[in-house]
Amino acid sequence: MFSSQNLPLKLADHTLALTYDDGPGPASVEIAKFLRDQGIRATFFVVGQQVRTQRDIVRKVRELGHLIGNHTNTHRPLPSLLVAPDELISEVVDADHLIEEFVGDGPFLLRAPGGSWSQEVAEVLNRNAGLHKYMGPIIWEIQHSDYEIGSPRHLCPGNELYTLQACQENYRQDILAKKSGVILMHDWSADAGELGDQLRRNNRTLELTQWLVPRLVDFKFVALDEVGIRGL
């Protein structure tokens, strides 16, 4: 069942878990193949409306040994749907129906869009018995806005452009400082409209992954089915 707050995962020192949100996208399989060749299993939190037309990509990612997680159906902030509880439940249930064949026996993991969550959201979702198999929402400790690469910082016009090189160093330095944690990156964008088109056009997360992983040889990588929850 869902927790009233984002779940902090318990990773040992010098242990990392790679996670990718907002896919599937055109580079998802290449990212999955690269990681497989490095002996790394990651978790891809996919968006239902994109799975509908990209099922083969999700299937290939799963066949390469990675986990598939639920990132809702349309990527809307879940607390904003509390005024329509049935719609809130459908955001998770509809995505669940689309990915269940790729999840198999589990684990069933949910990551809320933007990490936006509340106790009230958990209470509504837990009313649906079909969602009791889920654990979550899954949060992260390390993220440096890889979706902003090629765009103005903080997506504010007039700010300096966020370069791939700056993003690479931000991830590397934070990992070295924190020494462990769940890493958030994005293998695509689920944003709508012109902003989404821009973010998808500029996506460089494959290159970020290919640069970052070889520079973390002192770290062990684990998938989310290999870690526990802090406090348990």
pLDDT digits (tens, 9 = 90+) for 1-30: 999 999 989 999 999 999 999 999 999 999
User: Helices in the chain by DSSP H: which ranges?
Assistant: 28-37, 48-51, 55-63, 85-103, 119-125, 164-178, 193-201, 205-212
Question: How far apart are alpha carbons 163 and 45 in whole angstroms?
Answer: 25
Question: How far apart are alpha carbons 202 and 64 in whole angstroms?
Answer: 25
Mean pLDDT (the chain) is 96
Question: How far apart are alpha carbons 53 and 229 in whole angstroms?
Answer: 34
Query: Is the predicted pLDDT of residue 157 greater than 80, yes or no?
Result: yes
pTM (2 d.p.)? 0.97
pLDDT digits (tens, 9 = 90+) for 160-180: 999 999 999 999 999 999 999
pLDDT at 210: 98
pLDDT digits (tens, 9 = 90+) for 53-100: 999 999 999 999 999 999 999 999 999 999 999 999 999 999 999 999
What the block records as the tokens of 140 is 């992260």
pLDDT digits (tens, 9 = 90+) for 91-106: 999 999 999 999 999 9
Query: Is the predicted pLDDT of residue 111 greater than 70, yes or no?
Result: yes
Query: Is the predicted pLDDT of residue 123 greater than 80, yes or no?
Result: yes
pLDDT digits (tens, 9 = 90+) for 193-221: 999 999 999 999 999 999 999 999 999 99
pLDDT at 24: 98
Query: Is the predicted pLDDT of residue 232 greater than 60, yes or no?
Result: no
pLDDT at 229: 75
Query: Is the predicted pLDDT of residue 230 greater than 80, yes or no?
Result: no
Residues 93 and 128: beta-carbon distance below 8 Å: yes
3.50.50.60, 3.40.50.1820, 3.30.365.10, 3.20.20.370: CATH of 2-229: 3.20.20.370
Q: Where are the domains of the chain?
A: 2-229
CA-derived radius of gyration, the chain: 17
